[in-house]
Structure 1
Amino acid sequence: MDQALHRLTAGETIRRLAFGLYDYPKSHPKLGLLSPKPDDIARAISEKDDSRLQPSGAYSVNLLGLSQQVPAKIVYLTDGAEKSVEVGNQRIQLRRTTPKNMATAGRPSGLVIQAFRYLGKEGVTDAHLDTLKQVLLDSDRERLWKDRVHAPAWMHPLFEKLRPPTPT
């Protein structure tokens, strides 16, 4: 098996990203060889370990469009093993967390909860809420309201502002 993987990497059919982690390299006519997407790498690791993922910190803020800054270190919360992988100039870190933090993993509400945790109680602005109203579907906003039990109490009034209007 090792010999077969070595031949494929030498022939540039596949690319070794980290120990036990490979991908099919994609190229762009002008940009050349493209780096793999962080989500694809993290998803591959979580599938291998049979664990769940939740983007966290500055990365969750960026994914929701609340900030244009791309973090140098991308952090995911996981219920699997902690790992850190460097691919090119990006560092992807998987941090083990509590079941409560993973209760909303894989849902937009989980992304919002993690973004608000990163921004802090005083850091969430009306502009952030307006952006979320545009980005999230009404069904996602309704799910966020239902998932408030998994969030700190200080976030509940913010979720109320994001709640879609109820039909009368």
Structure 2
Amino acid sequence: MSKSIEIQVLDKIKRNPRGTLFFVDNFAKIGNTKAVNKALERLVKSSELERVATGIYVRPVIDDYIGKVLPSIEEIAVAIAKRDRATIVPTGSYAMYKLGLTTQVPLNIVYYTDTSARKIKIGKQTITFKKASSKNLSFVGKISTLAIQALRTIGKDKATDEEIKQINKILKNENPKHLQHDIQLAPVWIRKLIATNE
């Protein structure tokens, strides 16, 4: 019986491209949680799957040169948000990293979310979901969202001319309607910084 659950789980995984993330509840129709967990454990032992975090699994992409390629922290966060039907917004040092304002990948990646707050350990890194107000989740532009969150992290009167120049340069790639919408949600001091160098 447990063997057939294992085969069914693997079959379902193989019907998706390598690199697709799976959660235990993706296999609810195959068996109960305990049986599915055991099947997943065995598939990890046999190297069919990799466990990227508690309850999250992947059949890794295999690259000719570097071998196994596991999903990025962002891909994992997006998959969790999709599963939970949640909105997430990158904040802090991760927003700065995404904009190229820092080259250091943060160990603790923080997202604002409209679901419950929690932390998920991924190897040496941590994804932190922080419960936020609807205003903080109302941004529509990908680039403008990052720019506003990055400036918030840097702080009022602390952004260097170089940082402001870099942010405004990147914002030229944002949809003008999205930028206009998001600027209205930003604190006044951020609006001034973005407006001054447009």
Q: TM-score, normalised by structure 1?
A: 0.84
* Letter of the structure 2 residue corresponding to residue 74 of structure 1: I
CA 1:96 to 1:89, structure 2 compared with 1: closer, same or farther past 3 Å? Answer: same
* Contact 1:54-1:106 at 8 Å conserved across structures: no
* Letter of the structure 1 residue corresponding to residue 180 of structure 2: W
| Deviation by residue 1:37-58 (Cα, 9 ceiling, x = unmatched) | 1101101111111101111001
Work out whether 1:52 is the aligned partner of 2:52: no
Q: Which has the larger radius of gyration?
A: 2
Work out whether 1:15 is the aligned partner of 2:50: yes
Equivalent residue for 1:146? Answer: 181
Work out whether 1:61 is the aligned partner of 2:91: no
Equivalent residue for 2:190? Answer: 155
Work out whether 1:110 is the aligned partner of 2:110: no
Q: Percent identity?
A: 33
* Letter of the structure 2 residue corresponding to residue 6 of structure 1: E
Work out whether 1:126 is the aligned partner of 2:161: yes
CA 1:46 to 1:105, structure 2 compared with 1: closer, same or farther past 3 Å? Answer: farther
Residue 93 of structure 1: how far off its partner (Å) = 0.9
CA 1:130 to 1:140, structure 2 compared with 1: closer, same or farther past 3 Å? Answer: farther
Equivalent residue for 2:132? Answer: 97
Q: List runs of 5+ in structure 1 lacking aligned partners.
A: 164-168
* Letter of the structure 2 residue corresponding to residue 53 of structure 1: I
Task: Work out the CA distance in 1 between the residues paired with 2:173 and 2:125.
Answer: 34
* Contact 2:141-2:179 at 8 Å conserved across structures: no
Task: Work out the CA distance in 2 between the residues paired with 1:131 and 1:122.
Answer: 16
Equivalent residue for 1:75? Answer: 110
Task: Work out the CA distance in 1 between the residues paired with 2:111 and 2:65.
Answer: 31
- Residue 130 of structure 2 aligns to a residue in which SS? strand
Task: Work out the CA distance in 1 between the residues paired with 2:158 and 2:59.
Answer: 40
CA 1:19 to 1:138, structure 2 compared with 1: closer, same or farther past 3 Å? Answer: closer
Residue 162 of structure 1: how far off its partner (Å) = 4.3
Q: TM-score, normalised by structure 2?
A: 0.73
| Deviation by residue 1:109-162 (Cα, 9 ceiling, x = unmatched) | 111111010001112222112212332344445532332221111111112124
- Across the aligned residues of Structure 1 and Structure 2, the Cα RMSD in angstroms comes to 2.1
